[in-house]
Amino acid sequence: MKNGLFGKLLLLGLAVIMLFALSSCEKNEAVEYDITGKSDFTVADTTFDGDVVITGEGGSVMFVNCVFNGNIINKGGEGARAILTEDCKFSDGSECVIESSLKEATMGTDLPKFLIFCEVPPVSCKTCGAVVTVSENEIEFNGEKYAIENAELFNNDATDEIVPFSGQKANMHNVAKWTENGEEINLHLAIFAE
């Protein structure tokens, strides 16, 4: 009788130890990519269970056929781009976050950005940054939704001229936020790029 109780307690103890071991295996560490000066850096066919952090400036990383179960966080400076191809996927609750160290910028600043060609997850931006996507994708930026037909301005990439948007042919759109001379600027721009 005592051996039977001892055996059950031993099995219960082993089950508890296995649960702790499995839960410790599920801790997901962040993956960090420094993109400083890189223009052809690609990450393909990867599932990220933890957050992905982008650092550096003047470079880009392209994610091809990747799955994001955590957030992707762009902490880069000027010219830091994270490009997400049409075959990337995000889990529910995952988002793109811009946490740039830029404090001041202008419309001409190459803001840190996400170029998203898959279904666009929510994007949050604490300081200066932008998100660009194809025209049919709605952008959720800092909790507000942006459809291309509601863009304020239009840019033809060939001429680089910016004019009010009144339904011109556009195949992409951009939502951006920055601080200029102490004033917060928010911009929604329709773009035609060939």
Q: What is the pLDDT of residues 147-168, one digit of tens each?
A: 999 999 999 999 999 999 999 9
Whether 133 and 99 have beta carbons less than 8 Å apart is answered as no
Instruction: Evaluate whether residue 18 is within a structural domain.
Output: no
Instruction: Evaluate whether residue 10 is within a structural domain.
Output: no
Q: How many domains does the chain have?
A: 1
Report pTM: 0.83
| Enclosing domain of residue 71 | 30-192
Instruction: Evaluate whether residue 21 is within a structural domain.
Output: no
> What's the residue count for the chain?
194
Instruction: Evaluate whether residue 7 is within a structural domain.
Output: no
Among the listed ranges 19-33, 124-138, 163-177, which one has the minimum average pLDDT value?
19-33
Q: Is 170 exposed, middle or buried (0-12, 13-18, 19+ CB in 10 A)?
A: buried
Residue 60's pLDDT is 96
Instruction: Evaluate whether residue 15 is within a structural domain.
Output: no
Phi, psi of 132 (to 5 degrees): -125, 135
